[in-house]
Structures are given as structure tokens and as C-alpha cells.
């Protein structure tokens, strides 16, 4: 496990928690769905899981990232989760407004279980660092992309190539 750093508009930010490496066993976490029901990574055991972590679904870059993965998820044999610190009812409103129905939006606001376990909780902002994680069917982290500046989009082509290489 390692600690990484990210930036916002070039300004450094502090990440809390220890970031697991590719090849590590994926750590379980519990987040809330749009109805405030708990969801665990273990709920998707045996499936390829793509986690698209975004700071706030109500920003333009997060909107682009979420709608792009929603579009791509339709043709993937994988569960695609978008996790942010947004409240579940804000996520639900977003999904309804943008017809996001291939991605499951989840909130880490209550316990920070996901963001702290994956070393991507931004201390200064109380948000999640923009990143993409792929968990393989065996529950191992097969891919990790930490976007160096949270104001930028991830490299979608790299994510999709990695997902398809796993059979997604």
C-alpha cells in the first residue's frame, strides 16, 4: 500500500488512508445507495467491478465521467459503480436528470468507508479523489488510475482496455 497525492487546479491536496496497489486484495467497504440502503463490495463477489470515484456528481467533469461510464456500461459484462460524497437523494436526482441507469451511484458521505480504505479521501475538501478502480472476479485490484488533478477526466481508453482484457 502506498500514499499518493493529487492536485486541484495545480494545488496539492492531502489524501488520507493507505492506497492499495494493483494486485492487492480489494478491501471491502460499505456505502449507501440512492435509497440510503447499505451496499458492500461483497455484494458483487464473483463479478468484475469498475469503480468510478468522483469528487461531486454535481460538477461538469464528474457529470462527464459518470455519463461516459453509463454509456460504456451498456456493452460491458461488469458492474459499474460511481461513488462520491454526494448525498443519496442528490445522486438519485442526477441519475433521473441525465438518464443514468447502467451505473449504480453510491454515497460514501456517512462513514467514508470507501475513500479512507482506498486512500483517496481529500482532507482539505472532504471529497473523494477522482480515480477509477477495477476489481476482478477473484476480488483483486486489477487496475487503478488516480487522476493527478481532480479537475481532469480519467483516461477512459485505458480503463476500457483493462476492463475488456479481464473479460468485461
Domain ranges in the chain are: 6-165
Q: State the alpha helices, DSSP H only, in the chain.
A: 60-73, 88-97, 113-117, 156-165
Name the nearest CA neighbour of 50 among 20, 17, 83, 24. 83
77 pLDDT higher than 80 = yes
Residue 3 confidence (pLDDT): 55
**Rg value, the chain, Cα:** 14
pLDDT confidence of 1, banded at 50, 70, 90? very low
The three cell numbers locating residue 138: 477473484
Q: How far apart (Å, rounded) are the C-alpha atoms in residues 155 and 46?
A: 26
Share of the chain above pLDDT 90, in %: 95
Over the range 66-82, which residues count as b (16 or more CB within 10 Å of their CB) and which as e? bbbbbebbeebebbbbb
Q: Looking at domain 6-165, does it have CATH number 3.40.30.10?
A: yes
Q: How far apart (Å, rounded) are the C-alpha atoms in residues 58 and 20?
A: 27
Residue 102 confidence (pLDDT): 96
Mean pLDDT for 102-130 is: 97
Tell me the pTM: 0.95
Q: Rounded to an integer, what is the distance from CA 143 to the centroid of its chain?
A: 12
Residue 5 confidence (pLDDT): 81
153 pLDDT higher than 80 = yes
109 pLDDT higher than 60 = yes
- Active site positions, annotated: 62
Mean pLDDT (the chain, rounded): 95
Q: How far apart (Å, rounded) are the C-alpha atoms in residues 82 and 65?
A: 9
Residue 103 confidence (pLDDT): 97
Q: Mind listing the pLDDT tens digit for each residue in 13-70?
A: 999 999 999 999 999 999 999 999 999 999 999 999 999 999 999 899 999 999 999 9
Amino acid at each position: 500500500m502506498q500514499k499518493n497525492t493529487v492536485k486541484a487546479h495545480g494545488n496539492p491536496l492531502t489524501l488520507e488512508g493507505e492506497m492499495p496497489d494493483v494486485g492487492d486484495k480489494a478491501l471491502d467497504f460499505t456505502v449507501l445507495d440512492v435509497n440510503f440502503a447499505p451496499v458492500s463490495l461483497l455484494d458483487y463477489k464473483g463479478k468484475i467491478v469498475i469503480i468510478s470515484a468522483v469528487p461531486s456528481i454535481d460538477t461538469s467533469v464528474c457529470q462527464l465521467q459518470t455519463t461516459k461510464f453509463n454509456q460504456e456500461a451498456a456493452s460491458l459484462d461488469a458492474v459499474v459503480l460511481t461513488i462520491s460524497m454526494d448525498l443519496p437523494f442528490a445522486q438519485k436526482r442526477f441519475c433521473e436528470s441525465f438518464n443514468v441507469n447502467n451505473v449504480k451511484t453510491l454515497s460514501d458521505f456517512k462513514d467514508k468507508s470507501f475513500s479512507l480504505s482506498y486512500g483517496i479521501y481529500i482532507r482539505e475538501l472532504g471529497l473523494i479523489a477522482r480515480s477509477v478502480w477495477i476489481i476482478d472476479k477473484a476480488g483483486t485490484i486489477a487496475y487503478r488510475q488516480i487522476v493527478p488533478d481532480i479537475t481532469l477526466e480519467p483516461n477512459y481508453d485505458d480503463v476500457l482496455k483493462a476492463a475488456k482484457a479481464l473479460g468485461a
